[in-house]
Structure 1
Amino acid sequence: MALPRTLASLSVRNFRLFVLGQLLSVTCTWMMVIAQDWLVLDLSGNSGTALGVVTAMQFTPVLLFTLYGGRLADRHSKRRILILANAASGLLALALGTWVLVGEVRLWHIWLFALALGTVNSVEAPTRISFVSEMVGSELLPNASAMSAAYFNLARVVGPAIAGFLIARLDVGPVMLLNALSYVATVVGLSMIRPAELHLPAARPTKARVVDGLRYVRRCPDLILPLALVGVAGLIGFNFQLTLPLLAKTEFHTDPAAFGLLSSALAAGSLLAAFATMARRGRPTALVVTCSAIAFGAAEAVTGLAPTLPVACLLLTLTGFAMMYFAQASNHRVQLGSDPLYRGRVMSLYTLIFQGTTPLGALLTGWLAEHHGVRPTLTTAGLLTLTTATLTLRPTLRRPPPPPSPDHSPYAPGAWQDR
């Protein structure tokens, strides 16, 4: 199947099936996010703290169980794990949607659902990220990773816009049920993947201990910088699930459709960044990771000063571009510097740092937004990210490239040289 270079990974049948199922499911998941957040604000009287608690409940299991999820991914079939995880997520969405339609939902019901969904995601996320390399192989991994970011952000553009329209006309319950139904597409797509065509390691580790994965990362200093910057951004900079509904409802005093517009603007910028990274073939340098983090922090800081909704949408598009470019650069630097035998555990650590810091960040962001306003909260988060990334810039420029590894495998630590 001949495809342009930017779409090369779609020439792989297994990956095409994966993308088609994910595109529908992730679109409906973003619809669910909008519906859930709007419902929380309605039930809590526009409380930023209540919204922060929901986010914290959803991401706390990531903090607790993701490393174990990476261990499972290295020991067992990633495809089977993903089938089970998506089926469980669909059942949870079905339960909550039914609860909203037939009963009087309370805040603690939503917190309980967020906690259960977060537990499933703590296993699904590192497995899904590391499964991409098994579908396409190392040569097409950067393109496939960028393609994954593209469908994810296309869903972020389309999903919130559709959700705002449907919530205004049908309320939140039907939107949640649509999300539950969408998981069928993901499960079917994963079931049709041919295991014989996967790029599997020669042998799976029999123990795959979490501590061995941590020791492996410690022996790879070139992985530390992107993981550290991702940790800072995840803690203080990536809390848009919380800040955008507050910005729409408390600053611009708009309806669900406008909230969806803000989310779509952020996603549109992210989608453009994903397209921009599709042509990447090698491992990005540490300088690329650092500079993209600086750009993201600056864009987020300025977004907090937006005087009107149209200006906020424009700035969020720029913020989304910088955010996704940074996320992709750090993801590619970590994945392409990891041995396949450890990749599930390495990417579970990446997921833990990327998402596991969200509970603390969400609670802090919610408290700051409620007591000081969402605008100062956005600007402060951006400035802190900008400052942290800037402090790492000089060591990055001074650090010499690592010496060639005696192991000529492309997965050996140091085998991918900085360019």
Structure 2
Amino acid sequence: MDAPPHPFRIPNFRAYWAARLAMTLAQNAMIIVIGWQAYAIARRTMDQSHAAAQLGLIGLCQFLPLFLTTPVTGLIADRFDRRYIVRITVFLQLLCAATLGYATWSGAMTLGIVFTVAVLLGLARAFAGPAFGALAPNLVPKEVLPTAIALSSTSWQAGAIVGPAIGGYAYSLAPSAAYIVASVLFAVAFVAVLQITPVPRPKRLVGVHPLRQIVDGLVYVGQNKLVLGSITLDLFAVFLAGTSALLPIYAADVLHVGERGLSLLAAAPAVGAAITAAIFSFRPIKTNVGPKMLGAVIVYGTATIVFGLSTVMPLSLAALAVAGAADMFSVYIRSTLVQLHTPDAMRGRVGAVSQLTISASNELGEAESGFLASALGPVGAVLVGGGGAIVVTMLWTFLFPALRAARTFDPPSSLIDLPKTGGRDLELEITP
């Protein structure tokens, strides 16, 4: 039997990988500048605590559209051609970048514009996430899916490394330049997703009401304890220990390194993550995946505490790099487990639930960080978050024994039908 091809030998995956790289570069070049601009605007009329709260509101504006639309976005990703959903959402992000570029160039940028665009970006990501995630397994054979996930993560992390640097340096040359660069990159991503040819689509369920299909996705996540434990661990750990929203405060008021230093701080976690993802693309994890994921989250929380206590740039960068590497370790295992333990017909809905937890941990976590920093100061907020991530991991070890029992990525051999909620056949994987 011939060995399955490497993902890069598959044209559709190459186009997918290029689109994700360009889109991530654009998002990170733009988002880092949005935070810096919003904090600078707020500091003209507010003290540090109130300005920090504005950063929290930006995260909230991105999270709410996703929270409100999650049931619908997952169903749409399972019922319609996922390629078209991705194309539309990339184009919407292109329009957002162009709008911010014009507002900055014309001197009309306000917090109101920032918040409005943040809502639109959240809406675009709400629909893009399930479609993008569910599309990847349709592009490669199952045997090379872990490698494809590692490569996809590498493109995301590479974009996260270079994107902030592009945004920070372009902004230092001309404030609108960062958004112009982001617009060009979104255009490249749009062209790349146009190159993805038709791929296999899941069978559509006949005679099942859309609301019932939405409920079925939630039921599946709730009953598959391995999937539920994996995505909720990420939710609470990153929600508590995420530091991205506070980086402008650290750059301006703790480390005193300015916007160029901010770009380095934002890129540091991605450097560690990219190195980890690159290693996994050649030497994927195969054994003791659950315990390794739990250990990685503990390392993530510990590195976050070190960053919170640091007052010198080299140690701060090192701590963020270690945190990024540990986070990538956890994300790689979680993503592979969720993809391989979910039937293709439900990947959009399960992906929507997973994206909701990711967004809650990121955008809602940014809101939590901003508001907590307003009350405790940035250092206190980071220390509480890092310690909280460690406590959550210890709790999850006992609440979800399926996590510590997971030795490989292989789905369990025992399968049963989903509970009779829709009157159709759909497999549910049973985990220990």
* Cα distance between partner residues in 1 of 2:363 and 2:190: 29
Q: Secondary structure at the match of 2:142?
A: coil
- Consecutive unaligned residues of structure 2, counting only runs of 5 or more, are 418-425
2:204 partner amino acid: R
* Cα distance between partner residues in 1 of 2:314 and 2:405: 45
* Cα distance between partner residues in 2 of 1:144 and 1:14: 12
* Distance verdict in 2 for CA 1:143–1:119, change over 3 Å: same
- Quick check: 1:124 aligned with 2:139? no
Within a 5 Å distance, the mapping from 1:30-41 to structure 2 comes to 30-41=28-39
* Cα distance between partner residues in 1 of 2:204 and 2:142: 17
- Quick check: 1:204 aligned with 2:208? no
Within a 5 Å distance, the mapping from 1:272-311 to structure 2 comes to 272-278=275-281, 279-280=283-284, 285-311=289-315
- Consecutive unaligned residues of structure 1, counting only runs of 5 or more, are none
Within a 5 Å distance, the mapping from 1:46-85 to structure 2 comes to 47-85=51-89
Q: Secondary structure at the match of 2:109?
A: coil
* Distance verdict in 2 for CA 1:395–1:100, change over 3 Å: closer
* Cα distance between partner residues in 2 of 1:356 and 1:76: 25
- Quick check: 1:369 aligned with 2:373? yes
* Cα distance between partner residues in 2 of 1:65 and 1:243: 27
Report Cα offsets for 1:249-279 as digits up to 9, x if no partner: 1101121111001111111011112123223
Q: Secondary structure at the match of 1:253?
A: coil
| Equivalent position to 2:224, from 209, 220, 223 | 220
* Cα distance between partner residues in 2 of 1:288 and 1:400: 11
Q: CA deviation at 1:282?
A: 5.5
User: How many residue pairs end up in the alignment?
Assistant: 407
* Cα distance between partner residues in 2 of 1:89 and 1:318: 30
* Distance verdict in 2 for CA 1:347–1:118, change over 3 Å: same
Q: CA deviation at 1:237?
A: 2.1
| Equivalent position to 2:161, from 157, 162, 170 | 157
Q: CA deviation at 1:332?
A: 1.4
Report Cα offsets for 1:357-396 as digits up to 9, x if no partner: 5454323211221332212211211110101101232456
Q: CA deviation at 1:406?
A: 4.9
TM-score by length of 1: 0.90
Report Cα offsets for 1:223-272 as digits up to 9, x if no partner: 2211220120242123x331212111110112111100111111101111
Within a 5 Å distance, the mapping from 1:256-275 to structure 2 comes to 256-275=259-278
Q: CA deviation at 1:57?
A: 0.4
* Distance verdict in 2 for CA 1:106–1:283, change over 3 Å: farther
Within a 5 Å distance, the mapping from 1:358-397 to structure 2 comes to 358-394=362-398
Q: CA deviation at 1:199?
A: 4.0
1:20 partner amino acid: A
Report Cα offsets for 1:48-86 as digits up to 9, x if no partner: 111111111012211111231111000000001111111
| Equivalent position to 1:194, from 181, 194, 197 | 197
Kept in 1, the 8 Å contact 2:29–2:163? The answer is yes
* Distance verdict in 2 for CA 1:400–1:320, change over 3 Å: closer
The equivalent of 2:246 in structure 1 is 243
| Equivalent position to 1:135, from 131, 135, 139 | 139
Larger displacement relative to structure 2 (112-121 or 19-28) = 19-28
Larger displacement relative to structure 2 (137-146 or 72-81) = 137-146
Kept in 2, the 8 Å contact 1:233–1:385? The answer is yes
* Distance verdict in 2 for CA 1:14–1:260, change over 3 Å: same
Q: Secondary structure at the match of 2:189?
A: helix
Larger displacement relative to structure 2 (380-389 or 157-166) = 157-166
Within a 5 Å distance, the mapping from 1:276-355 to structure 2 comes to 276-278=279-281, 279-280=283-284, 285-355=289-359
- Quick check: 1:107 aligned with 2:139? no
Q: CA deviation at 1:284?
A: 6.6
The equivalent of 1:405 in structure 2 is 414
Q: Secondary structure at the match of 1:85?
A: helix
Kept in 2, the 8 Å contact 1:304–1:378? The answer is yes
* Cα distance between partner residues in 1 of 2:415 and 2:237: 35
Kept in 2, the 8 Å contact 1:287–1:396? The answer is no
The equivalent of 2:173 in structure 1 is 169
Kept in 2, the 8 Å contact 1:283–1:332? The answer is no
The equivalent of 1:42 in structure 2 is 40
The equivalent of 1:27 in structure 2 is 25
Q: Secondary structure at the match of 2:143?
A: coil
* Distance verdict in 2 for CA 1:396–1:55, change over 3 Å: closer
Q: CA deviation at 1:299?
A: 1.5
Report Cα offsets for 1:190-230 as digits up to 9, x if no partner: 111121xx2433x2235552111111222322222112201
Kept in 2, the 8 Å contact 1:25–1:186? The answer is yes
* Cα distance between partner residues in 1 of 2:398 and 2:357: 23
Kept in 1, the 8 Å contact 2:63–2:364? The answer is no
1:292 partner amino acid: A
Kept in 1, the 8 Å contact 2:97–2:183? The answer is yes
* Distance verdict in 2 for CA 1:148–1:351, change over 3 Å: same
